[in-house]
Chains A and B, each alone.
Chain A
Amino acid sequence: MNFGFGNKIKNNSSSDLRFEDVFSNFFYVFC
């Protein structure tokens, strides 16, 4: 999903992220 990294777009789709995902990256990289 585009959160507006470089363009101020109109985008009405809702978030697909959860707070539980916060630590998931760590495991993705190291496990």
Chain B
Amino acid sequence: MKFVEIKKYFIKNKYFLIFVFILVLFFAIKISQMGFKFSDENIYFYMGNLISNGIMPYSNFFFASPPLQIFIISFLSFLFGSKLILLKLIPIFAVMITGSLIFLIVKKEFDSLSAIISFILYLFSFVILTTTDHSTGIHLTTMFLILSFYLFQRKKYILSGSVGAFSLLTRLYAFPVIFGFVLVAFLKNKKSFWKYFLGGLIIFVPINLILFFLFRENYLNSIFFYHLSKTAGISKLAIFEFFIKWDFLLIILSLISIFMKNRAKLIPFLIPAGTTLLFFLFYSDIYYLYFGLLLPFLAILSGITLKELAENVSKNYKKYFYIILILVLVFVIFHNSFFYFKDHASTAKIDSLEEIANYVKTNSNESDVIYGSFEIVPLVAILSERKIINNYIDTNEKVFLTEVVDVGERTKELRGKVKFVIMKTFVDTNGKIVYLEKIVDSDFLLNECKIVKKYPIKKDYQDNMIVIFDCEK
């Protein structure tokens, strides 16, 4: 092939080639940093494992969300076998699919250039780079939501509604986005609205009725009423500040989009973004990872606006148009990846997981049970082949603070039965434990159990030690 022909090929397929390059670059960055972390994901991995063994959520163990995510994990665990680490690919593939759908949505409604910009801004946003280190369910939920949007755009209204229902069956916090979609459908035409609504109902209602008849009030209490009783975990202002700081460009460009000439065409993206933002403002228990729901819309609005702005700026100097765009996008990719690597990629990694699992396995019998911090115990249980006592997997302190479970009662159940309690904590320079999460009575741990092992955590957001208590009588 001659040079001229190669050049022609590249020019003709430039958007496709950039698309593939970005996808490969993102995948390579994420794969290079893959490892077990102190995270909610460990709970879901253990739960998926239990389901594979016929042990069901809501009746046999507490699970605070609808079941689709842990059933998907259960199915993938079956496929991957003992290669547990592969479950960490779920959020990575989910955002790659979401990004690709964003590209197709914008390409159909606008042009390839706006589409590729939106795609890059989405995958290399700080929210996506940092939160895809964890298989938390947010990215599966978002993938279903954006697939639903894509199908709606292709006029497959019933199917679109059904896929929207899958997002709700993954996490109920998909509702504000779905509500935005329903509003868009209603504004577009009544027929599409009813079809979307019907498509959602035929999936959501029967599945929830089956779950309700199987698990009765346990189901509703776990997925719905529990969340209403929660109070703020982290300062909402702090989370918003952090989000604004790190995805500043997306926020500014999305705000500018409201004043653009073509804003009428942006309404289908502005409405779901607005309903999601309202949810963040009014719901008490918000986390940074939840911004994953908002990101597709911000990336779409930003991509379209950035292309428009670059076009306006370079009206008289056409050659500067691509230079401006390339500089902005390269800056975003470089800047966000740099700070992701520097501050987050290696933070909260469980370096001594294998050692801990080996210790537990070699110092206990097969029938012994363990308990402790949800951020590590489920993983240790899987790797050491020891069970978590009474399937008390989700030991998030909030479960105790909302009085769903009483710490005293839980301690009574542990006394005389549990072999090891594993706690993630902070130890001062004198070796003294500064605090213990209120997931078990600390007097029980300090007076009735014995510290048998301490594993330092190299880099974490708040703690510096894993402590193993031997509580066997």
Contacts and interface: CB of A to CB of B under 8 A. Distances in A.
B245 A7 contact: no
A10 B373 CA distance: 13
Contacts, number: 93
12 contacts: A1-B238, A3-B287, A4-B234, A4-B239, A4-B286, A5-B133, A5-B134, A9-B396, A12-B235, A15-B235, A25-B245, A29-B334
B288 A5 contact: yes
Contact of B241 (A6, A7, A9, A19): A19
A17 to B, nearest CB: 5
Chain A binding surface, main DSSP class: loop
Contacts of B237: 15
Interface string A11-31: 110110111011001100100
Contacts of B41: 6
Interface residues of A, number: 22
Contacts of A10: 233-234, 396-398, 401
A6 B136 contact: yes
A1 B461 contact: yes
Contacts of A25: 245, 335, 339
B365 interface: no
A15 B289 CA distance: 17
Interface in B241-275: 241-242, 244-245, 248
Nearest to A21: B245
A25 B334 CA distance: 11
B441 interface: no
Nearest to B246: A25
Interface in B396-410: 396-398, 401
B40 A5 contact: no
